[in-house]
Amino acid sequence: MRRITINALVDIGCLITFIPSLISGLVLYLVLTSGGRRGYSTSMYIGITRSQWLTMHDYTSLLFAALLILHLLLHWKFFRNIRRHLSSVDNARWDVPDKQSGAGNRNLHTCFHPDE
């Protein structure tokens, strides 16, 4: 299997596991808060108990974390070389050709006043 196919499958897996983790986390935080409330004997939302929501949230979050680590490992070469890539972009942005020699200089004044 090609690397781009593996990367696409990992990315799709991250999205698929993130959505139920987000939804279950919001339900647990906003609807089925911990600590209990007066008058409620069981905590349920759309027919699912708080314990089941918590189990679903735990499993989807762990699977999402594992896929995210795999995603980072697939892009490790980029992360290892990111400083070099960022510094080359920064140098290219300020590298203005000199009028006489044609060589680049990093004079900020010439970047903003090229006709002087």
Domain coordinates of the chain in residue numbers?
1-80, 81-116
CB neighbour burial string for 59-93, b if at least 16 within 10 angstroms, e if fewer: ebbebbeebeebeeeeeeeeeeeeeeeeeeeeeee
- What is the tens place of the pLDDT at every residue in 65-90? 999 999 999 988 888 888 887 776 65
DSSP one-letter code for 115: T
Q: Which residue has the higher pLDDT, 30 or 102?
A: 30
pTM confidence score: 0.65
- What is the tens place of the pLDDT at every residue in 30-39? 888 877 666 5
d(CA 29, CA 80): 37
What 3-state DSSP class applies to 97?
strand
User: 52: closest CA among 68, 36, 32?
Assistant: 32
